[in-house]
């Protein structure tokens, strides 16, 4: 279960592969902390390859949002129905931008 | 030597004052007043122990002085002796009516004056001592009553109130009530699971009342629970409890007991009656069986008794009703007893009732029988109603026994994926369930075993009727995920409290979530419908 990541047009895109849960949350956290510290301020979580996320995954998102907060942005995209439901139930959709696809996310994160 | 007592002498004639003070000054301190108004002032400020009061005085006579002394709170209790030349009975009567303590006529005889003064002062002294003693007793009595009430509250709180309900206890219902008499009593009931499918329940009544009975009851209850931990035989449990109670039983107290152990799936009950009122089994049609066999004497009376036991298999709809003699011996206003016959009559009409309403109707029937008469003894009723196994329409059940290892969640999720594929569960359900495993099972693994011991964790899947039921069982520290959110100890980002979010998600995503603590295990049951309604 890897956490894929890439840099696209000045944004740091994180793609949890399969799931984002207790198992790989530490890995995702480390990746994000390192890159944000190194200057990445625009972070996109692309869930197109993610089956489900648990509360451990939510924490990773929250932590990223807090790290970039002052002068950056976190945007979420491509969630399947269940991930979207989890984001909704947890109130994350009220706090963090969400776009249905990566293109929209790229725009939103650059605003 | 006690302080000299003080006497107020009231007379308008200096010669009379001289005579009286001359007779008394050796033994008492004296204050003098020459008229009524001064006498009242002196009585208030001088705080005398006795007043010698002349009747015939100008302006305000002795009667009026006495009336005012008695009307004033601060002087009311000072004894008054009238001293007068008049010796008519009418005057004496009026004097006593006004509250005088005694009457002495002039000419005053020295020994009589001294004797009567001494008597009055002694009487007053005795009365004061009595009042003081009464106040002390009352304070102590009040304190004792408060302590007894606290004791009774503690005693009552020892009776479990968390009657089994919900998943795992569909096959029966159990309910009990203990109505305590005003005085501390020795009734008790208890019920507890020995394992997932074995329930032990009992009712007992300790001889006597008060603190000794309450203490003996507490000890008995504890001994039963401890003995039941190592045996499924009620005879063995009773034999053990009896020998423990009999040892060092200086007070020669004893307890009547009925102890039962039931397999909640089959309805098989093993029971032992140690000198207790025979319980009844009422079937769904109202026919009754009295379990008259006694398997030994009351417990605690004699050491070394081997108790026996019997077994009975309850049918679906059978109720086992246990009670103490507080029910049958409840007394109505005309001293008539509630009686076992009345109880039987009530039971015959109540065959269809659930445990709770049956117990409630017996207790309220006893109370209304008692009417205004004070409840003399504790009243305890416990009903166990067996429903039988509910039809299980699960097409598929799978059980995974595991432990609190680092890879457990992954293994359980892999096992679940196999189950899900075999039963063609759709992807939405799979995602939800995987989240639940990650969050709830993850919680158990991280927090249920704080002493880093190895725990037994069981996960059960049951699929049927379009519903998937997931049961998570662990033997870790008690934790009810539904009660409160667990603080997230790893939280590094403080602003938003994210602790308990996993539980919140699981509750939102599943259709039903319930929790029970039973036989040292946390049991979380989650249900989700396979298709949205």
Its pTM stands at 0.54
Per-residue confidence (pLDDT) for residue B508, from 0 to 100 = 86
What is the length of chain B? 533
Among the partner residues B434, B492, B505, nearest to A55 by beta-carbon distance: B505
Give the start-to-end residue ranges of the domains of chain A.
3-110
Q: Which residues contact B428 (CB under 8 A, 6 or more apart)?
A: A81, A82
Per-residue confidence (pLDDT) for residue B160, from 0 to 100 = 92
CB count within 10 Å of CB B504 equals: 18
pLDDT tens digits along B26-65: 999 999 999 999 999 999 998 899 999 998 888 899 999 9
Which chain B residues are Cβ-neighbours of A54 within 8 angstroms?
Answer: 434-435, 438-439, 442, 502, 505
Q: What is the ipTM of this complex?
A: 0.78
Answer whether residue A1 shows pLDDT above 60.
no
Is A55–B432 a contact, with Cβ atoms under 8 angstroms apart?
Answer: no
A19 touches chain B (CB under 8 A): yes
Is A21–B438 a contact, with Cβ atoms under 8 angstroms apart?
Answer: yes
Answer whether residue B329 shows pLDDT above 70.
yes
Provide the shortest C-alpha distance from residue A52 to chain B (in Å). Answer: 6
Phi, psi of B368 (to 5 degrees): -75, -30
- Nearest Cα residue to B339 out of B372, B362, B371: B362
pLDDT tens digits along B161-219: 888 876 667 789 999 999 888 777 789 999 999 988 899 999 999 987 788 888 899 99
CB count within 10 Å of CB B210 equals: 13
Residues 476-495, chain B, touching A (beta carbon < 8 A): 488, 491-493, 495
Dist. CA B366–CA B383, nearest whole Å: 16
pLDDT band at B1 (very low <50, low <70, confident <90, very high): very low
Which chain A residues are Cβ-neighbours of B505 within 8 angstroms?
Answer: 54-55, 86, 89-90
HSE, side-chain direction, 13 A CA sphere, residue B492: 13
Question: What angle is formed at CA B272 by the lines to CA B283 and CA B212, rounded to 5 degrees?
Answer: 115
Per-residue confidence (pLDDT) for residue B494, from 0 to 100 = 40
The mean pLDDT of chain B is: 87
pLDDT tens digits along B255-268: 999 999 999 988 99
* Domain A3-110 indexed as CATH 3.90.226.10: no
pLDDT band at B349 (very low <50, low <70, confident <90, very high): confident
pLDDT tens digits along A73-82: 999 999 999 8
Per-residue confidence (pLDDT) for residue B290, from 0 to 100 = 94
B107: cis peptide before it, omega within 30°?
Answer: yes
Q: What is the dihedral of CA B216, B222, B225, B229, to 10 degrees?
A: -130
What is the length of chain A? 111
Compare all CA atoms of chain B with the CA of A62 and give the residue at the minimum distance.
Answer: B493
Provide the shortest C-alpha distance from residue B410 to chain A (in Å). Answer: 8
Per-residue confidence (pLDDT) for residue B84, from 0 to 100 = 80
The tokens for B470 are 């997931």
Dist. CA A103–CA A39, nearest whole Å: 22
pLDDT tens digits along B272-283: 999 999 999 998
Is A62–B502 a contact, with Cβ atoms under 8 angstroms apart?
Answer: no
DSSP letter at B358? Answer: H
Is B439–A56 a contact, with Cβ atoms under 8 angstroms apart?
Answer: yes
Is A82–B504 a contact, with Cβ atoms under 8 angstroms apart?
Answer: no
Is A89–B439 a contact, with Cβ atoms under 8 angstroms apart?
Answer: no
């Amino acid at each position: 279960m890897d956490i894929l990541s890439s840099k696209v047009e000045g944004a740091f895109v994180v793609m949890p592969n399969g799931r984002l849960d207790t198992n790989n949350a530490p890995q995702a956290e480390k990746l994000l902390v390192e890159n944000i510290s190194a200057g990445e301020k625009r972070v996109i979580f692309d869930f197109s390859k993610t089956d489900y996320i648990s509360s451990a995954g939510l924490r990773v998102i929250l932590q990223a949002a807090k790290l970039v907060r002052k002068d950056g942005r976190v945007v979420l995209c491509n969630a399947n129905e269940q991930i979207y439901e989890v984001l909704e139930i947890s109130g994350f959709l009220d706090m963090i931008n969400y776009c249905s696809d990566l293109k929209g996310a790229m725009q939103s994160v650059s605003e | 030597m006690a302080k000299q007592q003080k006497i107020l002498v009231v007379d308008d004639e200096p010669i009379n004052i001289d005579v009286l003070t001359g007779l008394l000054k050796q033994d008492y301190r004296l204050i003098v007043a020459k008229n009524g108004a001064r006498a009242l002032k002196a009585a208030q400020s001088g705080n005398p122990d006795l007043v010698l009061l002349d009747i015939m005085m100008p302006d305000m006579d002795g009667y009026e002085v006495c009336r005012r002394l008695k009307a004033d709170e601060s002087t009311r209790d000072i004894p008054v002796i009238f001293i007068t030349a008049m010796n008519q009975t009418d005057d004496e009567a009026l004097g006593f009516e006004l509250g005088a303590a005694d009457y002495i006529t002039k000419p005053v005889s020295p020994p009589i004056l001294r004797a009567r003064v001494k008597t009055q002062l002694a009487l007053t002294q005795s009365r004061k001592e009595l009042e003081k003693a009464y106040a002390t007793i009352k304070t102590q009595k009040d304190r004792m009553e408060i302590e007894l009430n606290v004791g009774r509250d503690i005693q009552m709180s020892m009776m479990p109130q968390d009657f089994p309900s919900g998943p795992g206890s569909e096959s029966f219902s159990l309910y009990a009530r203990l109505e305590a008499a005003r005085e501390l009593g020795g009734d008790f009931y208890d019920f507890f699971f020995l394992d997932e499918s074995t329930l032990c329940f009992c009712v007992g009544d300790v001889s006597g009342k008060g603190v000794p009975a309450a203490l003996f009851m507490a000890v008995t209850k504890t001994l039963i629970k401890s003995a039941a931990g190592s045996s499924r035989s009620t005879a063995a449990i009773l034999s053990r409890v009896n020998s423990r109670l009999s040892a060092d039983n200086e007070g020669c107290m004893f307890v009547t007991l009925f102890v039962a152990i039931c397999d909640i799936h089959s309805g098989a009950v093993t029971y032992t009656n140690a000198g207790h009122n025979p319980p009844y089994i009422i079937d769904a049609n109202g026919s009754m069986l009295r379990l008259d066999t006694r398997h030994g004497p009351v417990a605690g009376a004699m050491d070394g008794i081997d108790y026996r036991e019997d077994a009975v298999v309850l049918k679906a709809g059978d109720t086992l009703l246990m009670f103490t003699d507080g029910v049958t011996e409840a007394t109505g206003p005309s001293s008539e007893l509630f009686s076992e016959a009345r109880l039987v009559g009530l039971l015959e009409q109540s065959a269809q009732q659930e445990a709770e309403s049956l117990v409630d109707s017996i207790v309220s029937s006893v109370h209304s029988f008692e009417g205004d008469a004070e409840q003399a003894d504790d009243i305890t009723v416990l009903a166990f109603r067996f429903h039988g196994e509910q039809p299980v329409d699960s097409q598929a059940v799978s059980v995974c026994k595991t432990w609190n290892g680092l890879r457990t969640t992954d293994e359980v999720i892999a096992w679940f994926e196999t189950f899900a594929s075999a039963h063609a569960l759709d992807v939405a359900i799979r995602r939800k369930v995987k989240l639940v495993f990650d969050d709830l099972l993850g919680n158990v693994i991280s927090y249920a075993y704080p002493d880093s011991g190895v725990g037994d964790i069981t996960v059960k899947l049951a699929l049927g009727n379009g519903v998937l039921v997931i049961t998570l069982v662990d033997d870790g520290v008690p934790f009810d995920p539904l009660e409160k959110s667990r603080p997230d100890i790893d939280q590094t980002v403080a602003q938003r409290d994210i602790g308990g979010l996993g539980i919140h998600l699981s509750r939102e995503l599943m259709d039903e979530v319930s929790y029970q603590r039973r036989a040292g295990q946390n049991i979380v049951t989650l249900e989700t419908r396979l298709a949205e309604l």
